[in-house]
Amino acid sequence: MTPAKAAILSLGLLLVLPLAARGEDKPDIEPPADTRWRLLLKNQVKAEKNCDLADVLTYSELQIGAEIAISGKIACVDGREYDYSRPRPHLEFEFRLCEPSVC
């Protein structure tokens, strides 16, 4: 193999490896360690849906311009599950009850 071909192959691998490391087959990512959004989510779902938050099941981010919208699914202690979304950081969360025929 010529040095030029080896260099091209190395560059190709450098471009592909980050995609594999990001887990492209798994669209949901780990929620950020920042607990402020989780505390807001917990308090708002308790106030609006009388749900004691048991777990954040999924979390996804979508960059819209300079802001990041988040969405995912949460579970309540009593077994209910809700889809949640927040289109912009300064807005409140929106909740939709997750029913078997919908989710």
Task: Between 2 and 99, name the one with better pLDDT.
Answer: 99
Positive/negative CA dihedral, 46, 51, 57, 59:
negative
**What backbone phi and psi angles, to 5 degrees, belong to 63?**
-80, 125
pLDDT digits (tens, 9 = 90+) for 44-73: 999 999 999 999 999 999 998 888 899 999
Cα separation of 39 and 26, whole Å? 25
Q: How many CB atoms lie within 10 A of CB 9?
A: 11
Lowest mean pLDDT among 32-41, 47-56, 89-98: 32-41
pTM of the model: 0.64
